[in-house]
Amino acid sequence: MTVSRSFHSSAVVFTVVYSVSYLIAVQNNYALFTYHPALEEFGPLVQPPRDGPAMYWYGWMATAALVAFVAAALARFMPERLARRLWSGWSWAVPIASMVVFSYMLSGFFTR
Amino acid sequence: MTTFLLIVHGLLAVALLGSITHQAISVLVPARKTADSFVGRVRAVSAPSYVSAIIVLYVTTAILGGIIYGEYRMAVRVVLEQLDLWKANGAFELKEHFVALGLGMLPAYWSFWRQPLAESETRARAVITATFAFIVWWSFLVGHILNNIRGFGS
């Protein structure tokens, strides 16, 4: 099965936008929903802890996936000329850069 | 139930580790002649044949990890904090973010590996596969170490 150029571009756009969105979502706590493990309950958007810790990780991923899905859908309409010029290396460069940023953000755990 | 899911999570992770390691090695140091040794045969595997298995294993392992994550947050992380095991705690924090980023990389990874393989994407294919291998190895080792520190049900 071959992959059309527009699908390939959408896949690259999804990965790039997801990586950036996830980083922003974590930094600013833009969680689409909150999970309360002690109560085994989900709540919409960011909620304070209730009877135990609140978990935002699932919500951050959902936020990033939503934004990336919209961006990838829009990328399907990208002109062929533009799609061909899209550097596919962004699909690894941006996630790796995000991993480096996360490592820096969490370096306090390793230096205390 | 959590212990059962943790064991399944671990077994799937082992399968994923083997698959992604085979693929990464065959992409980064491909065999240049007929394989006649163990190392040569590892390098000579058909890398594209691993793609579907890796995607299914990655998603399934991540979902199972997500299911037992709540129990980890309640029963394990608190203990790590009380014991001042900040490095272990930080390693797990990195694991959760790396795994999340890996999930977002799956569409591009899948697209790069679809047939026929584009010659122009050789480098991107190699780097994204190596990145996945790093994420899987990091996650596996951190999960293993944390389970050694405090396994579920202890």
**HEC per residue, B94-153:** HHHHHHHHHHHHHHHHHHHCCCCCCHHHHHHHHHHHHHHHHHHHHHHHHHHHHHHHCCCC
Cα radius of gyration (chain B): 17
Decide: A22 and A64 in contact? Cβ < 8 Å.
yes
DSSP label at B85?
-
- Write the Ramachandran bin of A10: left for phi over 0, alpha for psi from -120 to 50, otherwise beta: alpha
User: What does the pLDDT look like over A21-46, one tens digit per residue?
Assistant: 999 999 999 999 999 999 999 999 99
Do B105 and A35 count as a contact with CB atoms less than 8 A apart? no
Q: Average the pLDDT over B122-147 and give the result.
A: 95
Nearest C-alpha in A relative to B63? A58
* CB-CB neighbors (< 8 A) of A14 in chain B: 104, 107-108
Nearest C-alpha in B relative to A68? B104
Q: Average the pLDDT over B139-143 and give the result.
A: 96
pTM for the structure as a whole: 0.93
pLDDT for position A81: 84
pLDDT for position A111: 92
CA-CA distance, A69 to A47, in Å (whole number)? 24
* CB-CB neighbors (< 8 A) of A91 in chain B: 105, 108, 112, 124, 128
Other C-beta atoms closer than 10 Å to the C-beta of A109 total 17
Decide: B101 and B128 in contact? Cβ < 8 Å.
no
User: What does the pLDDT look like over B82-121, one tens digit per residue?
Assistant: 999 999 999 999 999 999 999 999 999 999 998 787 778 8
Does residue B119 belong to the interface with chain A, where contact is any CB pair within 8 Å? Answer: no
Q: Average the pLDDT over B132-141 and give the result.
A: 98
Highest mean pLDDT among A67-81, B10-24, B43-57: B10-24
Residue A51, φ and ψ in degrees, nearest 5:
55, 40
Mean pLDDT for chain B overall: 91
User: What does the pLDDT look like over A62-96, one tens digit per residue?
Assistant: 999 999 999 999 999 888 888 888 898 999 999 99
pLDDT for position B101: 98
- Both tokens assigned to B72: 């980890």
Between B66, B87, B115, which is nearest A110 by CB? B87
Q: What percent of chain A is modeled with pLDDT above 90?
A: 79
Structure confidence at residue A3 as a pLDDT band (50, 70, 90): low
Length of chain A: 112
- Both tokens assigned to A52: 């135990």
Residue of A85, A92, A112 to mutate when probing chain B, most B C-beta within 10 A: A92
Between B66, B104, B115, which is nearest A68 by CB? B104
pLDDT for position B43: 82
pLDDT for position B153: 56
Does residue B69 belong to the interface with chain A, where contact is any CB pair within 8 Å? Answer: yes
Between B70, B102, B108, which is nearest A91 by CB? B108
CA-CA distance, A107 to B86, in Å (whole number)? 10
C-alpha torsion sign, points B73, B74, B75, B77: positive
Residue of B78, B85, B97 to mutate when probing chain A, most A C-beta within 10 A: B97
Does residue B127 belong to the interface with chain A, where contact is any CB pair within 8 Å? Answer: yes
List, as one string, the DSSP characters of B37-66: SHHHHHHTS-GGGGHHHHHHHHHHHHHHHH
pLDDT for position B26: 92
Structure confidence at residue A1 as a pLDDT band (50, 70, 90): very low
CA-CA distance, B60 to B58, in Å (whole number)? 6
Decide: A54 and A39 in contact? Cβ < 8 Å.
no
pLDDT for position B49: 86
3-state secondary structure (DSSP) of residue B73: helix
pLDDT for position B1: 85
CA-CA distance, B146 to A81, in Å (whole number)? 49
